[in-house]
Amino acid sequence: MFFLTILIFSTYLLKKTYGVPLNLHPSFFIPLFTIVILAVPIIFSFLDREMYIYNSGIEIIAFYMLVFQAGSVLVLHKSKLEFYEHTPNFSIERLRILQVIGIGLSSLGIYITMHQIADFGGINLSVQNLSDLTVINSKARYSGIRIASGLGFYLGIFDFATVIVGGILLAARSGKVIALTPIFLGLYKTYITGARASILISLIFFFTSFVFYKAYLNKGRLPLFTYKSIRYAVLSVILFVLLFLVVQMTRGGVTDFNRIPAILKHLNNWFFAYLPGFSIWLDSYRFNEVHFGSFTFAGIFDQLNIAHREQGLYREFVFIGRSYRTNVFTIYRGLILDFHVFSFLLMYLMGSVATISFHKFYQLGAWTNFFIIITIYSFFLWQHTVSIFNYNTILAGVLLAFFMVQLSSFKYVYK
């Protein structure tokens, strides 16, 4: 674990040098999160000897992050880590109105999706049949069928746009109800469709949007290592496990609570298997393919008819222990398949772009940089699964949220 040790040391050294102002900085926050997602499955492997950990995946991910950190630190050293006091540079009232409209359209999309699932399963849409919708949709997804289509599918763009705007509104302490409503709608949609990834990505967007705009209003300073933050982190982990448990039970129509231990063991594949899964794939890969982005940007390539995107994650499974198997391989598998050695250059550039955008947003308040920041951070906060750029609705949701903020910032001039 040579490169992981170096990453831990370099991240600690940066924090010691710059202190609190570095808390949210790309050179510190993203490497710190990467260290956590490497450490958690390693610790779990000592608790459960059935899950094997392989060093190759640890080392390559740590090296990727060192390259990202190098790109970030270069920009950091060439510019000053200065923050200024800001006030909202958009109309809060106008953004709240747009948020209400977005919530309405998101709700309409959920309603249409519910009807589509019910029609596909040949049942009536009623309160008594709500739990059946999850089973119907899950079986269809595992068969490679996407039920949600047309207007219902495209209105899902508002699901992601409204959580981003909600984070901004909550940080600005304006309209707590309409700020949090998209989260509850997302939870309900997850219950109906059984799709775990969408709500978790939504929560990541909400978190990044809230945290970075709150820091923007507080001269770039936001303490992370406080008792309050630690309590929230522990609570988030507990709620995270409960969410997966409930969704997994509804997907399979499980009502027998005696099966909960077995379901939790199955969910270990999501919680911990990404690291050994990536390592096993890496050890067997021959580095004889180049796909030029068709895995990292699968949704866009699918729309352009360049490459077909499969439902879900990678289709093949690998065994990572006596009773575990997974098809979760982290974002790094896609980067290697797409760009090979040039993926290191891409990682370096992402570190530089993230840092430039970070500095410009907190010094100048440019909203373009804000959306670059939350997109890059969300990409890495979801790095243990697949690229968020696999999903066109996510990219469209980010663009729509940007449009909503820009529309709220527009000033009318009367002559």
Residue 56: other Cβ atoms inside 10 A: 13
Residue 9 contacts by C-beta under 8 Å, 6 or more apart in sequence? none
Q: How confident is the model at residue 96 (pLDDT cuts 50, 70, 90)?
A: very high
| Rounded Cα–Cα distance for residues 243 and 246 (Å) | 5
pLDDT tens, 379-409? Answer: 999 999 889 988 889 999 999 999 999 999 8
User: CB of 198 within 8 A of CB of 186?
Assistant: yes
- Which amino acid makes up residue 326? T
How confident is the model at residue 247, as a pLDDT? Answer: 74
Using CA atoms in the order 125, 130, 134, 139, what is the torsion angle rounded to 10 degrees? -50
243: left (phi over 0), alpha (psi -120 to 50) or beta: alpha
Residue 97: other Cβ atoms inside 10 A: 15
- The b-or-e profile of 327-352 (16+ CB within 10 A means b, else e) is bbbbbbbbbbbbbeeebbebbbebbb
pLDDT tens, 26-74? Answer: 999 999 999 999 998 888 878 777 777 788 999 999 999 999 999 999 9
- Which amino acid makes up residue 303? Q
Nearest-10 crossing angle of helices 196-216, 157-171: 30
**Model-level pTM?**
0.90
141: left (phi over 0), alpha (psi -120 to 50) or beta: alpha
> Mean of the per-residue pLDDT values for the chain?
86
pLDDT tens, 139-185? Answer: 887 777 778 888 888 999 999 999 999 999 999 988 899 999 999 99
